[in-house]
Structures are given as structure tokens and as C-alpha cells.
């Protein structure tokens, strides 16, 4: 008899997981898996202690924020069980990168999923699965009202972005990659990413891989607003890497210092103030996936 902990966010996305919970428990029961549900906000100490009792799977049902909370417990345990992601949030970038696009499709094929050991990023004392970001628009994920996200889905983020347009400004930063200073000046935002899809933008970091032992840095440099919006449109079409206002590099360690007022974000959760030290943690997390990212 196998055992699992199911961490679920009942208000993620459109609140669909709350409706799907009984069906999820039924699927696990049919597979002879005893499941213990834990509701978010997650008590990380409780999950940490449960893992010590011997768990075969940890299932995270929600968006990237829910997965972020679970991962920060798993990564601190020796030999943790594999993570299973049920994409139920407004943003499901991590699940998309794992080839798990549908909430209902994961558990029925649980025994067919393959184990894959992935890299994680570490910013200060917090792990991240997708992105560590700072600057313009990076606080949208935790500023948008949950009811608005439930009603409008991803469109709620776009509305918040439009509402923030009058506050557009740049921030002074100094960025070093693998011990070498690569930028010192004003920027709109920076992103340190672990996967190709971030913020539902496919191939934002086209050279990124969750298994290569590297993180990818994107810096949107200070420029005129018309040039910035032109760069934003290039992002939508995947033609942004040749833009002179974008810096794109790969590395294993990053040091970022700058204005303490810069908003920061880790996987959609509010991040700590700068300065930051960010590093890759190679092959840190085992997940179940249907396709290799």
C-alpha cells in the first residue's frame, strides 16, 4: 500500500481543484494509494514532519505558487519522494514544462509517468522552480485579487499590468554572473529562469533547460517606452533575443544588488529585497513527468 500527501489550493485558478478533490482522492484510492489531503496555506513544518514517516508521493494541486511552497519543503529533506503536479492554477508554467497541461489527465496515468530529476534555483534561502524576478510588473502575481483571477483567469494579470502603466520606472542594478559583472545601470526588470516558459510566455528563455545545471538571465535594459513596448511585442513572437535592449546570458551563480525598493518575486510569491545571491542546485528535485522538458 502506497502513501501520498495531497497539498491542494482550493481557490487556485477558477477554484476548480475544490470541485475535483473528491475525484482526485478516488483515483488515488483505486490505485491503492492512501492519500492525506493538506489545504493551503501550507504549514511547511507539518509537511516536513509527514515526509519523515515515509511517503511515496507528494501531490501539489494548484498553480506555480502552490508548487513553490511544496518544493521548498521537499528540497530540504534528504531523499524526498517524487513530486506530482496537478495544474489547477491561473499560471501553470511548471506543469506545462513537464508536459502536464490538464488537471484531470494526470492521476489516471500516474503509473505511466516517468521520473526525472530537475534543477532548482536558490535565491537566498528560498528555492524556486521557474523564475526569480525583480523590477517592473514582477509584483503582479501577488497584487491581483484572487476573486478577479478566479473570474478572469490569466486576463486578470493583463488588466493589472495596464493599471500599473502610469508607474513605469527603471531601477539601478549591478549584476554579476559567475563572478563577472555583466551589467551596471538602469533596467526595467530582470528574470533569472529555470525553464523555457515563464509567465505563460512560451520560449521566453529558448535555451533554458531544467536539467542543464544552468540558469538563464534576461535583463530588460532602460530604453524609451516605445522601444520597450516594441521589445515586449517581440517577446510575444519569439524574436526578442536579437533586440539590443535585452541582455540574455546563462550561468550558475548570480549576484544582484540595487535599490531596496525594487519589487521582487519567486514563482509568483513575494520575494525578499535586494541584494540577492542566486545559484543553481543541480539535480535537486525528482518529479513525475509525461515528457522530458
46-49: Cβ within 8 A, 24+ apart? 47/5, 47/7, 47/73, 48/73, 48/76, 48/77
- DSSP H helical segments within the chain, as ranges? 16-30, 44-51, 64-74, 93-97, 140-143, 146-152, 155-163, 225-237
Question: Of 104, 174, 186, 269, which residue is the catalytic one?
Answer: 269
Contact 85, 129 (CB under 8 A): no
E strand or H helix at 215, and its extent?
A: strand 215-221
CA distance 64 to 102: 14
- Cell 482522492 belongs to 25
Grid cell 533575443 is found at 241
Known active-site residue 269: yes
* 90 close to 61: Cβ distance less than 8 angstroms: no
Query: Which sign does the torsion angle of CA 48, 53, 56, 59 carry?
Result: negative
Catalytic residues: 269
Amino acid at each position: 500500500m502506497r502513501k501520498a500527501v495531497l497539498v491542494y489550493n482550493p481557490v487556485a485558478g477558477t477554484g476548480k481543484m475544490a470541485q475535483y478533490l473528491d475525484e482526485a482522492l478516488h483515483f488515488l484510492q483505486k490505485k491503492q494509494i492512501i492519500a492525506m489531503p493538506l489545504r493551503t496555506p501550507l504549514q511547511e513544518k507539518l509537511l516536513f514532519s509527514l515526509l519523515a514517516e515515509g511517503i511515496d508521493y507528494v501531490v501539489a494541486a494548484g498553480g506555480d505558487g502552490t508548487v513553490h511552497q511544496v518544493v521548498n519543503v521537499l528540497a530540504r529533506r534528504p531523499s524526498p519522494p517524487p513530486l506530482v503536479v496537478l495544474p489547477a492554477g491561473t499560471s501553470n508554467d511548471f506543469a506545462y514544462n513537464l508536459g502536464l497541461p490538464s488537471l484531470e489527465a494526470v492521476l489516471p496515468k500516474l503509473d505511466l509517468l516517468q521520473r526525472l530529476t530537475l534543477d532548482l534555483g536558490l535565491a537566498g534561502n528560498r528555492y524556486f522552480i521557474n523564475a526569480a524576478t525583480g523590477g517592473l510588473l514582477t509584483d503582479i502575481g501577488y497584487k491581483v485579487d484572487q476573486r478577479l483571477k478566479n473570474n478572469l483567469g490569466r486576463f486578470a494579470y493583463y488588466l493589472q499590468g495596464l493599471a500599473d502603466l502610469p508607474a513605469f520606472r527603471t531601477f539601478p542594478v549591478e549584476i554579476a554572473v559567475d563572478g563577472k559583472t555583466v551589467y551596471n545601470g538602469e533596467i526595467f526588470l530582470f528574470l533569472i529562469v529555470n525553464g523555457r516558459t515563464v509567465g505563460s510566455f512560451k520560449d521566453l528563455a529558448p535555451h533554458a533547460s531544467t536539467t542543464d545545471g544552468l540558469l538563464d538571465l534576461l535583463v530588460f535594459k532602460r530604453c524609451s517606452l516605445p522601444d520597450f513596448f516594441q521589445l515586449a511585442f517581440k517577446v510575444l513572437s519569439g524574436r526578442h533575443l536579437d533586440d539590443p535592449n535585452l541582455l540574455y546570458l546563462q550561468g550558475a551563480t548570480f549576484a544582484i544588488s540595487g535599490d531596496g525598493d525594487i519589487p521582487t518575486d519567486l514563482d509568483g510569491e513575494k520575494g525578499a529585497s535586494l541584494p540577492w545571491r542566486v545559484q543553481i542546485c543541480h539535480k535537486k528535485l525528482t518529479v513525475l513527468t509525461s515528457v522530458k522538458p
